Amino acid sequence: MNDPTDIPASEQLREASAWQGRGRPHYPEASAAHAHIDLALNAWLGRMTGYISPAALAAAWQDWAAHLLLSPAKQMELGIQALTDAGQWLRYSTAAMFGSAAEPVRPLAQDKRFSDPLWHAWPYNQLSQGFLLSQKWWHRATSGVRGVSPHHSDVVTFVARQMLDGFAPSNFIATNPLVQQVTFASGGQNLVHGALRAAGDLRRALGGAGAPVVCRPGRDVALTPGKVVMANHLVELIRYDPQTPQVHAVPLLIVPAWIMKYYILDLSPHNSLVRYMVERGHTVYMVSWKNPDADDRDLSLEDYRRLGIMASLHAVVAQTGARRINACGYCLGGTLLAIAAAAMARDGDKRLASMTLLAAQVDFTEPGELSLFIDDSQVAFLEAAMWQQGYLDTRQMAGAFQLLRSNDLIWSRRLRHYLLDIPDKDNDLASWNADATRMPYRMHADYLHRMFLRNSLASARYLVDGNPVALTDIHIPIFAVGTMTDHVAPWRSVYKIIPLSDTDVTFLLTSGGHNAGVVAPPGTQGRSFQIATHAHDAPYVAPDTWLAVNELHQGSWWPAWESWLARRAGPLAPPPAPAESLGEAPGSYVLQP
């Protein structure tokens, strides 16, 4: 673990001044002893609020309300709109009662709550129209208020939407015709089964457990044959057995995010990206992160770079004899890989042949809806929780991620699971999603402060070994993948690797979200992608222009990436000699609860 004293005094002073300028030190334990009272209180309060800062919400609402009071024209506009909406609803309701045609308010394309034909009959169409008009009015009320900070405006709009969604007529038996139909048909058995499921979910939640993990690594998923060939305190390195008589001379190192178990890329045999690459002649290495506990509280983001990426890189080169390797990073693993690549380029380390970033951000100025939960107040609140227990359990932030897609992950699931008697589908991806991990206190504080709050990597202020790194130093070819409906790493944010680097970047945009968009093997229905290479000396193309001019291809993006990688993976040759085995894949770290 790096000692802070290894950093030059001038850099320490600069960093310390930066933190003091923000009104608080980097790590709360460095503050006076009495500050522990505040931290303990905030940690306790976090358990009551789902680790969402009440101070941050209060500041947003105060900002919005104060500026709305100072905007009489906006108030008048909202009053007129309310009267207009009321008149529209009355006209629609009258026409609907007598079976006449009326022009309805159309919900957003992704809102499927009222799509069933039963909602088109009176009085349910009247209820749904009233809700949609209210939703529309509140959106007008919470957005476009002059003087409100954009962040606060987004927060207030988001919270208002969540509150309204909780009162949608689709959520209640008395106002949902589909639930009523199922209840009469089953004699109420759907409600009995739903109550039992609700009790089970509540019992698990009170016990601190998440959804059950149905698919177990090594038994149902993570089945690609391989061996653990290196291990340290933070990672196990898995080398997969060759599946072809000859393999490419340049091996592939994959760095997944530590917020997830690595086997998202090695699920069932039919949708395993690892198996797909091994079967096409690539020697694949995979980093499997330890699931940290309280004893790992002081592991830093720099430790993750050193013990994770650099230690694995050393092992791959030593075992294969390859002078250069291809590296691929997914999500946070991609961000860390970009840091490592920039540091290697700065220091003249030429062991990387190419870099692939899967749904990974290097610029955090526009991180999408996730930014709703990231500001100074919210980060300080999370720090209190991590300070108390030494880590952040991803279950503690699960509520925030679910709120980003509340219709899909909260209310629609509640409707299906508890009222319509439709059980959740057990599949490998859903089971993996329930296999939660933890993040050490210091590392996650590093990440939130340096990436989200200070955007240090994109601004060439991120320090590695006491000196800043710059993405423009990276001159190896880059392949970057964005996913169209990503709420974690929005594709336009992922696209920023193009103007921030000084090399050829092949950018690929695929359908789907952060996980399902990446796990898209050939044969998956409804998949499509666009791809184009931007030369390092070519004029910049804005993301929306890029989207409009590039051809849409049907099918999986995996073959396009494998083809790109194969051209940079060297000639085919006999597989390298087996390395000393420390155990069979998937190893032990992935099995840690």
Instruction: Just list the catalytic residues.
Output: 331
Distance, in Å, from the CA atom of 136 to the CA atom of 133, rounded to the nearest integer, reads 5
Distance, in Å, from the CA atom of 252 to the CA atom of 278, rounded to the nearest integer, reads 10
Nearest-5° angle of CA 370, CA 64, CA 47?
Answer: 50
Within 10 A of 130 (CB to CB), how many other CB atoms are there?
17
The first and second tokens of residue 562, run together, are 């494998």
DSSP label at residue 250:
S
Task: Render 495-512 in DSSP notation, one character per residue.
Answer: TTHHHH-SS-EEEEEESS
Distance, in Å, from the CA atom of 322 to the CA atom of 53, rounded to the nearest integer, reads 49
Strand 247-248, strand 572-573: pairing = antiparallel
HEC letters along 457-480: CCCCCEEECCEEECHHHCCCCEEE
Coil, strand or helix at 421: coil
Residue holding tokens 């009959």? 121
Specify the amino acid at residue 575: P
Of 247, 243, 231, 325, the C-alpha closest to 287 is 231
Identify the bridge partners of residue 467 per DSSP, sorted by sequence position. 464
Of 253, 304, 274, 280, the C-alpha closest to 518 is 274
163, 138 Cβ separation under 8 angstroms: no
Distances (CA, A) of 212 to 430, 435, 481: 10, 8, 31
H or E segment and range at residue 86: helix 72-97
Specify the amino acid at residue 533: T
Of 327, 330, 213, 316, the C-alpha closest to 264 is 330
Q: Where are the alpha helices (DSSP H) in 149-230?
A: 150-166, 177-186, 189-206
- Greatest alpha-carbon pair distance for the chain in Å reads 80
Within 10 A of 496 (CB to CB), how many other CB atoms are there?
19
Distance, in Å, from the CA atom of 45 to the CA atom of 171, rounded to the nearest integer, reads 28
C-alpha count within 13 angstroms, C-beta hemisphere, residue 24: 16
1, 299 Cβ separation under 8 angstroms: yes
Beta strand segments in 50-169, E: none
